[in-house]
Structure 1
Amino acid sequence: MVRAVPPGGNWKNIPVSIPSKRLEQIRSSFAAGKGSRSTYYGRLKPDAPSYTISTYFNRPGNGCYIHYDYDGEQHRLISQREAARLQSFPDSFVFYGNRSAVNEQIGNAVPPLLAYQIALHLGEPGMFVDLFAGAGGLALGFTWANWQPVVANDVMPSALETYVKNIDDSIVSGDIRQHEVFLQVVSDARAAKRANPNFKLFVLGGPPCQGFSTAGKARSMSDERNSLFQYYRQIVEAIEPDGFVFENVMGLLNMEGGHIFNLVHAALSSVTDKLSVWKLDAANYGVPQRRKRVILVGRQGESRDIPPPPLMCDSTGKNLLGIPAPITVSEALSDLPVLAPSQDGENLDYTMPPSTDYQRFLRGFFSPMQYLERLRREVDNCSLHF
């Protein structure tokens, strides 16, 4: 199957002579007009950003995850480190847990580079509480911007182990709906406020997005995950922070005809002076991935309503005011070793020195700020010639 798919291709390139129940289902669904499933069994394009990295990047039939290098006979799915790179995790970031747990941590994360630019856009750094923390994509971006972690919460022990090793060891493990877990998070946050009265405090996080995602089937309030935003609101109400950042999938906007988004918006509006709604694509912010998300930002007092300014053109390649094209998959991955199917490759050396600024950034040659400064110089140069 994989060998039959060229760069940019998908399930339509796979001969019907190859037996597959999964392909039969996709073809029947397509014939019935139920969507093109255009990313299923997809191979990445070397000269474009990837599609959204989900938790299923180890399954060819669930998205566009086949390695881009067809001529190099990389007839395999992307590895965990390659998926993490497309999410903008640095190579030094270590994930803990079994294979499935690590896939979940990578696929559910907010790209740290996008989180970094959100943190910078919020002004003077402060402290943060991280709910539904996962591996710490949001937290890593905020710590890059010199924000200080107070406490993180998640139900997944391996994700918190990853968080402790890479971010901070102030964690509360368990379901936020459990009274003792809720109270411990609130207690830690209030203690940090008392100890640091001159520091602003934000709450970060987004409830698990599978219930809201267009990739899921259970897109209704009958999915218990979709009520978790109320616990997020209750935490904000109890802590009384200076602001919050609530991240979720774009599917939240149109679920049940927009009714659910209205519920979320009303709930979060009740605990802040001003609530801004940002629709961001990670590809606009130097991440080599088409990952569109809705960000709700609450802040007390006067605040800017506009999102962080984009650094690259959008993920479809449409130019925005002469700014550069998005970072591509090959720019992100070309220095990584050739692997056999299912090979991990974690202990293999790079095949070459870094050849792009993105590779230099993820390999530690550039700080996040240095990388952004180089991107901004590209923006300035493009604008001068537009």
Structure 2
Amino acid sequence: MIPNHYTPSLSELDLLMVRAIPPGGNWKDIPLSVPSQRLEQIRASYARGEGSRSTYYGRMRHDAPAHTISTYFNRPGNGAFVHYAQDRMISQREAARLQSFPDSFVFTGSKAAINKQIGNAVPPLLAFQLARALGEPGEFIDLFAGAGGLSQGFHWAGWQQLVANDIDAAALNTYRENLGGQTVLGDVCDSEVFNQLVAAASAHPRTSRPRLVLGGPPCQGFSTAGNKRSMEDERNHLFKKYAEFLKVVRPDGFIFENVPGLKSMEGGRVLTMVTTTLEEAGYSTEVWTVNAEQFAVPQRRTRVLIYGTRIGAFPLTRPRAVTAWNSGDLLVPSSPTVGAAISDLPPLAPGADGSASVYASPPSSLYQRLMRGEITACDFLSEVRTGSKNGA
């Protein structure tokens, strides 16, 4: 069984466009004779100098990492989500693999809910390395947990979950089904939900092990892809409730994850506001920008991390990159590729569900062995660091 190996159906027009796009190609490869109002809008925008839209109607390359997996990976016109060899969109399982979720991780809910869970997640393999950089395993509380990308990585590193929270019932059900533990459904701004989380954390006596708060508030308000990037968006004030939680629970530290747009919003003033608010909760902070492809994730995904620690609690150690992708778009051998990530999954026709299918081949890469549970994340990274097989 290969759970969630489902790919959406495509219209005849979509298929006509998809078949015209070569690996690594995009909307520019679609003939002008193809009738599409969407393509006309993209071409007009490009002619006005409003950006290349280089990932629109993009087809993946098997020999390169994927572009960022968003919540719209089921649509050909919203990114580079066309399978590198088959005339279809990538499946939910393929998207999950490119995010570094193992095949044993089963997403639940409607198809739209699952797309959202996968696209919004923090890659677990990146989270694993964040956890490992902190030293000895400890305990964590996961706010805005989603389906559990951060938690999965910390679980791999031996950390213990105390409680997790999200407002999305489908995402939290996926979290609970895969990771277990106590969960609290609801808006953290609701006083009853907030108090439940405080009580759940307080029910665990403090030990010598470090205790962290994980998670970043929903990123849509900060995203450069959105139309609203101002403090008028209520989602952009959730960091204040995050800081309030830190004041009450007093963990040893926190990891606040968000999109790169947080750094540029209102000329950097919003990032200063966020870090100042978190520091006023009693923490020193550092802001790091991390690229997922540098941490053995087969995806070019950039995220901003605000690390915080109470003075004297434990040192902040930035995780060390293990793979690379250079500016000339030439693959550095140590970087896992799309092919190394998904080539063993069975082929699909548009609209097909291959969840009951068997693997198309034995694992042909270290990364596939990790995804299929044959090796641990620790073993995988050890092999990647030695450069012996490099995940490919």
TM-score where L is the length of structure 1: 0.93
Partner of 2:57: 41
Q: Deviations over 1:304-356 (max 9, x none)?
A: 45521110113646799xx8431100010110111001223121111110000
Instruction: Kindly indicate whether residue 248 of structure 2 is the aligned counterpart of residue 244 of structure 1.
Output: no
Partner of 1:374: 383
Alignment of structure 1 residues 156-195 onto 2, 5 Å: 156-192=168-204, 195=205
1:204 CA displacement: 0.2
Instruction: Kindly indicate whether residue 144 of structure 2 is the aligned counterpart of residue 144 of structure 1.
Output: no
Aligned pair partner of 1:15 in 14, 31, 44 = 31
Partner of 2:308: 298
SS, match of residue 108 in structure 2: coil
Whole-angstrom CA distance in 1 between matches of 2:315 and 2:327: 28
Aligned pair partner of 1:310 in 321, 327, 332 = 321
8 Å Cα contact 1:324/1:379 also seen in 2: no
Partner of 1:355: 364
1:236 CA displacement: 1.0
SS, match of residue 67 in structure 2: coil
Partner of 1:384: none
SS, match of residue 6 in structure 1: coil
Whole-angstrom CA distance in 2 between matches of 1:185 and 1:11: 47
- One-letter amino acid of the counterpart of residue 144, structure 2: F
1:378 CA displacement: 0.8
Which 10-residue stretch deviates more, 292-301 or 83-92? 292-301
- Name the CA shift for 1:56/1:325 in 2 (closer, same or farther; >3 Å): same
SS, match of residue 66 in structure 2: coil
Q: Deviations over 1:201-235 (max 9, x none)?
A: 10000111111111111111111111111111111
Whole-angstrom CA distance in 2 between matches of 1:123 and 1:352: 37
Instruction: Kindly indicate whether residue 278 of structure 2 is the aligned counterpart of residue 276 of structure 1.
Output: no
8 Å Cα contact 2:130/2:319 also seen in 1: yes
- One-letter amino acid of the counterpart of residue 242, structure 1: D
Partner of 1:330: 339
1:173 CA displacement: 0.3
Which sections of structure 2, spanning at least 5 residues, go unmatched? 1-16
Partner of 1:342: 351
Q: Deviations over 1:275-311 (max 9, x none)?
A: 1111101100110000000111111234545521110
SS, match of residue 271 in structure 2: helix
Whole-angstrom CA distance in 2 between matches of 1:286 and 1:30: 33
- One-letter amino acid of the counterpart of residue 158, structure 1: A
Whole-angstrom CA distance in 2 between matches of 1:34 and 1:52: 20
SS, match of residue 43 in structure 1: coil
Superposition CA RMSD, Å: 1.8
Which 10-residue stretch deviates more, 135-144 or 23-32? 23-32
Partner of 2:13: none
Whole-angstrom CA distance in 1 between matches of 2:29 and 2:45: 16
8 Å Cα contact 1:49/1:283 also seen in 2: yes
Whole-angstrom CA distance in 1 between matches of 2:33 and 2:218: 39
Instruction: Kindly indicate whether residue 120 of structure 2 is the aligned counterpart of residue 104 of structure 1.
Output: no
Partner of 2:40: 24
8 Å Cα contact 1:243/1:272 also seen in 2: no
Instruction: Kindly indicate whether residue 135 of structure 2 is the aligned counterpart of residue 123 of structure 1.
Output: yes
1:272 CA displacement: 3.8
8 Å Cα contact 1:284/1:315 also seen in 2: no
8 Å Cα contact 2:76/2:82 also seen in 1: yes
Whole-angstrom CA distance in 2 between matches of 1:88 and 1:114: 8
8 Å Cα contact 1:115/1:142 also seen in 2: yes
SS, match of residue 42 in structure 1: coil
1:142 CA displacement: 0.3
Partner of 1:234: 244
Whole-angstrom CA distance in 2 between matches of 1:300 and 1:125: 17
- Name the CA shift for 1:5/1:282 in 2 (closer, same or farther; >3 Å): same
Q: Deviations over 1:250-295 (max 9, x none)?
A: 1110011111111111111222442111110110011000000011
Whole-angstrom CA distance in 2 between matches of 1:380 and 1:317: 23
- Name the CA shift for 1:324/1:17 in 2 (closer, same or farther; >3 Å): closer
Q: Deviations over 1:76-114 (max 9, x none)?
A: 100000000000000010000000000000000000000
Whole-angstrom CA distance in 2 between matches of 1:144 and 1:262: 33
1:20 CA displacement: 1.5
Whole-angstrom CA distance in 1 between matches of 2:174 and 2:297: 22
8 Å Cα contact 1:49/1:315 also seen in 2: no
8 Å Cα contact 1:43/1:64 also seen in 2: yes
Whole-angstrom CA distance in 2 between matches of 1:137 and 1:343: 26
Aligned pair partner of 2:105 in 76, 90, 93 = 93
Whole-angstrom CA distance in 2 between matches of 1:212 and 1:34: 20
8 Å Cα contact 1:311/1:324 also seen in 2: no
TM-score where L is the length of structure 2: 0.92
- Name the CA shift for 1:379/1:219 in 2 (closer, same or farther; >3 Å): farther
Whole-angstrom CA distance in 2 between matches of 1:108 and 1:279: 17
SS, match of residue 51 in structure 2: coil
1:119 CA displacement: 0.3
SS, match of residue 213 in structure 1: coil
